[in-house]
Amino acid sequence: MPIKKNTYAIVDLETTGGMARRDKITEIGIVLFDGEKILETFQTLINPERSIPPEITRITGITNDMVANAPKFYEIARQVVEKTEGTIFVAHNARFDYSFLKEEFSRLGYTYTRRTLCTVRLTRNTFPGLRSYSLGNLIRHFNIEVNARHRALDDALATAQVLKNVLHKDHGSFSIKNIINQGIRESKLPKGITLDFLHGLPETPGVYYFYNSYQKVIYVGKSNNIKSRVMQHFAKTTQKAEKLAKMVSTISYEETGSELIALLLESREIKYLQPEVNRAQRTKNYPYFIHSYKDEDGYLNFQWLKSSNKTRKGKNILNHYGSKQGAISHLIGLAKELELCLGKLGLKEKEGPCYRYSMEGCHGACIGIENATTYNERALLGEEFLKKVFSNDFVVQVEGRDQTEIGVVLIEEGNYKGFGYINIEDFSFGIEEIKEAIQYEPENPEVNRIIYTYLNKNPKTKLIPI
């Protein structure tokens, strides 16, 4: 449905706390505003189906008794959808209110998406130099009369007055349009791509695809917010961004439910599709690799190299690394674990024996003393050692694409095997049921590093041992 001309749905929520995934809404206020006058208001308390912390009651005045007989969110959800449909969603600190509504609707299996406008950012741009851009300070600055602060409808009405002051300012309307469209000028968009299309993209984790006029994929990207990331591509004014915009004809996407599966799907798609633009970028995160080869004397050698199309070509790549030191450390660990020669690991700089030979950590392959066949028995174990990133087998549990499923990633025999989605009800049956949901994939050492890095950055991720 097209946006109602000059209509804003100004929303304010009161909640049980500050985390959308944990906390719930206790009150909602909506003001429909055309830029000059208020068209309609809506307000209701909401039963959060949990207790309200005393500190929240102190701030808002909303008690457990007040919400005990109030409607639950699902009972007023349709009204929220209808009243905000086709409008611009406005809130003071829009990220907070918008995320709570999206989470509540997500629990109902509904995707709530609106164009958003944050009056914190808007007033910071329009009225620079104020001591603070909190709603309380703006109320004082503009002498706005408010009956009950920290109540949803009263704060929404105050936000409407703030917005009105912006609209009366020179270039106020331009600032609003610029923020809503993230600085994108429609005239600069590729032919066939409109702002309405971009605003209709999902605000969820996933992978997106840019196609040229021949319907060939030229770029694959991932994001926790597909809409925001795609819009960023067209908001940039760099030569590189403008060149990409000229190449794009159509856009598609696939929602994944979680950042981890988005990373895995992106890696797989880039490897399979070989998009023209990605080829120049694919080594950015893992710019080094280790490969193995046999030298002229028959010894199995390992070597680290900086990654490029030229250096990767024809190589038996065992693993990818985010830094040179990471690759070297893995090789040094290999030398200690299997008593391999530093010379055959690409870590010896001078002629003659490696320094580990004098310390009895090398059996003399570097100077031809150890037989190649004997040496290679240990070196082959080294190949498996380098390929294996994980010492245990487990399943990574992440968010599904909706409330009915769970995303799962399988690590087995020390390596990534694939990902999939399983119904919540089936998840409880155990590991064999989970494995049946996995889409198994060819070996891809780069993906092991992606998972390893993700788990290090997200230590609270749920892992299920096998």
Q: Give the 3-state secondary structure of 219-270.
A: EEEEECCHHHHHHHHHHCCCHHHHHHHHHCCEEEEEECCCHHHHHHHHHHHH
Q: Over range 281-285, report the average pLDDT.
A: 58
Q: In whole numbers, what is the pLDDT of the chain averaged over residues?
A: 91
Q: How confident is the model at residue 40 (pLDDT cuts 50, 70, 90)?
A: very high
Q: How confident is the model at residue 348 (pLDDT cuts 50, 70, 90)?
A: confident
Q: Which CATH number fits domain 186-280: 2.60.40.1120, 3.40.50.300, 3.40.1440.10, 3.40.50.150?
A: 3.40.1440.10
Q: 131-153, pLDDT tens digit by residue?
A: 999 999 999 999 999 999 999 99
Q: Is the domain defined by 8-180 classed in CATH 3.30.420.10?
A: yes
Nearest to residue 316, comparing CAs of 269, 362, 379, 267?
379
Q: Over range 115-125, report the average pLDDT.
A: 93
The single-letter code of the amino acid at 428 is S
CB atoms within 10 A of CB 17: 14
Among the residue ranges 96-105, 242-251, 255-264, the one predicted with the least confidence is: 242-251
pLDDT above 70 covers a percentage of the chain that reads 97
Domain ranges of the chain: 8-180, 186-280, 288-387, 394-465
Rounded CA-CA distance 50/30 in Å is 23
Q: Beta strand pairing status for 217-223 and 288-294?
A: unpaired
CB atoms within 10 A of CB 251: 19
Q: Which residues are catalytically annotated?
A: 150
Q: 67-119, pLDDT tens digit by residue?
A: 999 999 999 999 999 999 999 999 999 999 999 999 999 899 888 999 999 99
Nearest to residue 285, comparing CAs of 64, 417, 425, 450?
450
Nearest to residue 220, comparing CAs of 254, 188, 190, 196?
254
- Write the DSSP symbol of residue 208: E
Rounded CA-CA distance 268/447 in Å is 8
Two structure tokens written together for 430: 């155990």
Q: Over range 227-234, report the average pLDDT.
A: 93
Nearest to residue 83, comparing CAs of 26, 47, 44?
44
- What pLDDT is recorded for position 159? 97
Sequence-distant (6+) residues with CB within 8 A of 37 are: none
Q: 303-342, pLDDT tens digit by residue?
A: 999 988 899 899 999 988 888 998 999 899 889 989 999 9
More confident residue, 433 or 349: 433
Residue 175 φ then ψ, to 5°: -60, -40
Q: 167-207, pLDDT tens digit by residue?
A: 998 887 888 888 888 888 877 788 889 998 999 999 999 99
Rounded CA-CA distance 14/158 in Å is 15
Rounded CA-CA distance 150/152 in Å is 6
Rounded CA-CA distance 338/331 in Å is 11
Residue 406 pairs with which residues in a beta bridge? Answer: 399, 422
- What pLDDT is recorded for position 265? 95
Rounded CA-CA distance 45/364 in Å is 79
The single-letter code of the amino acid at 81 is V
